[in-house]
């Protein structure tokens, strides 16, 4: 069963929940600039599934935060996220822990 992607803000933390999947991430993609305003942490502890499109979205969210002058760190990410990044030979700083 597919679990929708949800997000909310708690201070400087963007909390993501559900699945970071190519079929579910368009609403967050569309809201990425507003969602990342003032964010220094992206909490992935309640993400249940990530595909390569989800990894790409995370990279864009980190880049958007950096563009806005914030140093963004991922928290609560499963090893699957970093394994996918390694499979594509992505630099570690694109998904900072």
DSSP state of 27: H
Nearest one of 6, 79, 19 to 53, comparing CA atoms = 19
Q: Model pTM greater than 0.85?
A: yes
Q: Does domain 6-91 have CATH number 3.40.120.10?
A: no
Q: What percent of the chain has pLDDT over 70?
A: 98
Element (H, E) at 20: strand 13-20
Q: Over the stretch 6-60, which tens digit does the pLDDT of each residue have?
A: 999 999 999 999 999 999 999 999 999 999 999 999 999 999 999 999 999 999 9
Which one has a higher pLDDT value, 2 or 20? 20
Report d(CA 72, CA 18) in Å as an integer.
Answer: 21
């Amino acid at each position: 069963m597919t679990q929708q992607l949800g997000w909310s803000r708690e201070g400087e933390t963007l909390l993501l929940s559900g699945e970071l999947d190519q079929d579910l991430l368009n609403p967050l993609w569309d809201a990425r600039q507003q969602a990342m305003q003032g964010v220094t942490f992206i909490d992935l502890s309640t993400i249940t599934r990530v595909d390569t499109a989800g990894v790409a979205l995370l990279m864009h969210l980190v880049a958007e935060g950096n563009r806005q002058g914030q140093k963004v760190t991922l928290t609560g990410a499963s090893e699957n996220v970093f394994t996918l990044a390694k499979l594509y030979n992505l630099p570690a700083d694109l998904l900072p822990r």
